[in-house]
Amino acid sequence: MDATEPVRRRMSRQKSRDTAVEMALRRALHALGLRYRVHRRPVAGVRREADVVFPGARVAVFVDGCFWHGCPEHATWPKNNAEFWRAKIEGNRARDRDTDARFAEAGWRVVRVWEHEDPAEAAARVLAVVR
């Protein structure tokens, strides 16, 4: 069963790029002196777009929403249309694992940042991988 039409309309209006969380992380990375590209597909033949990319260091950063990616701390499972949403979120998790594996095979390191993480702490984690 698909999502109901009102839910589909509401969810389609959710920003998928340049979200407040992503912008806060980018500001924190910039403050650390890091320069990067945004919303790029770093691996040829893999249709997955990283939120922040460090081409020289071959590091791709993904900012994952707690709801959409099933955060172990904050995931919520909707009661309405539960089967549809469980399949959708589990599918996102499977795609994330596949993305991580494909990027690793291509020589890239992936950093995943949850939306609930402190931007400064997440930026420090990214800095450690980039350096």
pLDDT at 75: 81
Local structure of 131: helix, strand or coil? coil
What pTM value is reported for the model? Answer: 0.87
- The span from the CA of 21 to the CA of 77, in Å, is 22
What is 5-130's CATH topology? Answer: Endonuclease; Chain A (3.40.960)
36-83 confidence digits (pLDDT tens): 999 999 999 999 999 999 999 999 999 999 999 999 998 888 899 899
- The span from the CA of 60 to the CA of 40, in Å, is 9
Q: Which residue has the higher pLDDT, 8 or 131?
A: 131
Q: Mean of the pLDDT values across residues 14-31?
A: 89
pLDDT at 5: 73
Q: How confident is the model at residue 3 (pLDDT cuts 50, 70, 90)?
A: low
**For the chain, what are the domain ranges?**
5-130
